[in-house]
Structure 1
Amino acid sequence: MRILIASGVRHARDYVPLLRSLPGIEVIGCADTADSPFRDDSAALAAATGIPFLDLEQGLASCDIALVCSEPTRHADLAVTALEAGRHVIVDKPAATTTRDAQRLWEAADRSRGLLTAVHRLHSPQIARARRTVDSGAIGLPLAVDAEWLAAGGLDGATVERPELVCDPALSGGGELMNFGWYPALAIRYLTGLEVEEVVAFSSAAPHAPLFDGPHGAYGVEDAAVLSLRLGNGVVATVTVARTPAGVGPAPVSSSLRVLGSHGHVLADEDAPAVTVRTAGGDSSAHQVAGPAATTALRLLFTEFCDDIRYGRTPLVTAADIHAAVAVAEAALSSSREGGAPVAPAVRTAGDSGALRRRRSAPVRGGSSSR
């Protein structure tokens, strides 16, 4: 599979060597539009990695897959262009920064012969094993989920190319809610199979000061937030996202997800990395799961998407999942600005043909009496 980096800004510097290590994948170049504010960054990435620097139209004519790695607010524009060119598309996170753009992606994917997916962590061994545990019925019906996503360190250039790529809403779409809220929103949807119906959020955004000493305050965006979610069938969830001065685990990002069921619970800890299952009958098991979670998840994301294309499969994350995750982040931003007022996430306003392609199989529905 020939992969084109469509704008080499966020995360592309990490993706290129990883892609080159995978069999059957060729990185053919990095491309950008003539009016891109980060065209020089794309050219620098190409020079540093020894791949050709191309105009976007030229690159799309030569690739099988476009991997969109621009600043987040331009993700949807580049992805729609690639889909309209008939290419398969992977969009860096967050795939869109508004539900309007997420809907544009969904509609373009419905029209295109190419497949669409986005960067996610659902292939991490811990989350994958937790999903199998939920599906097995070992913890009964999922009733509540607790998720944490904490980034270590600041925005000093070692973790992010420039602070404004996370903090400037004109480039990032928001602060850490938009930057990281994407991951737990997708994971909760994946583990429960339920839609989020209401969001209540509190954050450190203006008029409040950021919790930690970083650049978020200069841009008036949050560096930390706590969300309460009401899902279908009465299931509830809590989410904490933050960028902290020091790490809380050995990895750059610490992530854990606990699913509380009617007959037990499962904890997916990406730091350990391990999955722990406890049941109401007193049984307990802990399984060490190979890591590191981020690298393993990305390798599987790229290789599985190539197989999706070869075998005509539905990607694990589709346009419907993208829209749902962006809608949760957007509702959380709105709720936090309104002092924690409940906000219902936006739903797609056009036809619902893409909903049938949501995932390969649906897990047990929380709160339901059937399996």
Structure 2
Amino acid sequence: MRILIVSGVRHARDYVPLLRSLPGIEVIGCADTADSPFAEDSAALAATTGIPLLDLDEGLASCDIALVCSEPTRHADLAVRALEAGRHVVVDKPAATGTRAAERLWDAADRSPGLLTAVHRLYSPQIARARRIVDSGAIGLPLAVDAEWLAAGGLDGSTVERPELVCDPALSGGGELMNFGWYPALAIRHLTGLEVEEVVAFGSGAPHGPLFDGPHGAYGVEDAAVLSLRLRNGVVATATVARTPAGVGPAPVSSSLRVLGSHGHVLADEDAPSVAVRGADGERVSRQVGGPAGLTALRRLFTEFCDDIRYGRTPLVTAADMYAAVAVVEAGLASARLDGTPVTPAARTSTV
């Protein structure tokens, strides 16, 4: 599979060596639009990795898969352009910074012969094992989910190329809720199979200021947020996202998911890394599962997507899943601005 990096702004510096390590994948180059505000990033990526810097139309005509790595506010536009060119598309997270853009992306995917998916962590060994346990019925019916996604700093350039790519709403679409809320929203949907009906959220940022001493305050965006979700069938969930000065685990991002069921619960801890299950009889079984969650999930995401293309399979994360996750984050941002007023996630209005 020939992969084109479409706008090498965010995460591409990590994706290129990972892609090169996978059999059957060739990174053919990096391309961006002529009016890109970060054209120099794509040029720098090409120079440092040794891949060609291409014209975007030329690159799209030559690739099998377009991997969109721009600043988040251009994700949907570039992904739509690649889909309209008939390419298969992987778009970096979040797939869109609002439901209108997510709807356009969904519509383009419905019209395109290419497959669409987005960067996610559902292939992490811990989440994958938790999903199998839930599906097996070992904990009964899922009744509640609790998720945490915490970043250890990283705005010094160690994990985020420049702070404004996370903190400037014109580029990022928001703060850490927009940046990280995508992950727990997708995971909760993946583990329960249920739509979110109502969101209540509280976040730092304007007008109260950030929790920690960082650049979020200058842009008036949250560095921490808590979501309370009401799902169908009376199921509830919470999600906490934050960027903290010191990490709580060994990796740049610490994450855990707990699913409380009618007959037990399962805890997927990506830091340990382990999965623990406790049944109604009180017996607890904990096993070490997998290695680095983020890297393992990314490797499998790209290899599975290539197989999705080869065998005509539906990707694990579809345009409908992307829209649902974006709608939850959008509702969370609206609720936080209204000091916790409940907000219903926007429903898709168009069909193709």
- Same fold? TM cut 0.5: yes
Match of residue 328 from structure 2: 328
Matched position secondary structure for 1:61: helix
Match of residue 198 from structure 2: 198
Matched position secondary structure for 2:62: coil
Matched position secondary structure for 1:8: coil
- For 2:285 and 2:102, locate their aligned partners in 1 and report how far apart those are by CA, in whole Å: 40
The CA deviation at 1:290 is 1.2
CA contact (8 A) 1:254 1:271 kept: yes
- For 2:173 and 2:33, locate their aligned partners in 1 and report how far apart those are by CA, in whole Å: 20
- For 2:147 and 2:32, locate their aligned partners in 1 and report how far apart those are by CA, in whole Å: 36
| Counterpart mapping for 1:48-63 below 5 A | 48-63=48-63
CA contact (8 A) 1:79 1:89 kept: yes
CA contact (8 A) 1:196 1:328 kept: yes
Match of residue 315 from structure 1: 315
CA contact (8 A) 2:154 2:252 kept: no
Q: Deviations over 1:122-154 (max 9, x none)?
A: 000000000000000000000000000000124
Match of residue 47 from structure 2: 47
| Counterpart mapping for 1:1-371 below 5 A | 1-351=1-351
Number of aligned residue pairs:
352
Q: Deviations over 1:80-105 (max 9, x none)?
A: 00000000000000010000000000
The CA deviation at 1:283 is 2.1
- For 1:41 and 1:293, locate their aligned partners in 2 and report how far apart those are by CA, in whole Å: 27
- For 1:294 and 1:84, locate their aligned partners in 2 and report how far apart those are by CA, in whole Å: 30
- Give the TM-score, by structure 2 length: 0.99
Letter in 2 for 1:274: S
What is the aligned-residue identity percentage?
86
Matched position secondary structure for 1:207: coil
The CA deviation at 1:158 is 1.1
Q: Deviations over 1:130-187 (max 9, x none)?
A: 0000000000000000000000124111111110000000000000000000000000
- Give the TM-score, by structure 1 length: 0.94
Letter in 1 for 2:13: R
- For 2:177 and 2:282, locate their aligned partners in 1 and report how far apart those are by CA, in whole Å: 37
Match of residue 365 from structure 1: none
The CA deviation at 1:78 is 0.4
The CA deviation at 1:284 is 1.6
Letter in 1 for 2:170: A
- For 2:150 and 2:198, locate their aligned partners in 1 and report how far apart those are by CA, in whole Å: 23
Letter in 2 for 1:111: R
CA contact (8 A) 1:154 1:244 kept: no
- For 1:95 and 1:140, locate their aligned partners in 2 and report how far apart those are by CA, in whole Å: 32
- For 2:205 and 2:234, locate their aligned partners in 1 and report how far apart those are by CA, in whole Å: 29
Matched position secondary structure for 1:260: strand
Q: Deviations over 1:61-94 (max 9, x none)?
A: 0000000000000001100000000000000000
Q: Which runs of 4+ in 1 moved over 2 A?
A: none
Matched position secondary structure for 2:7: strand
- For 2:345 and 2:285, locate their aligned partners in 1 and report how far apart those are by CA, in whole Å: 37
- RMSD, matched Cα: 0.6
Match of residue 364 from structure 1: none
Match of residue 362 from structure 1: none
Matched position secondary structure for 2:31: strand
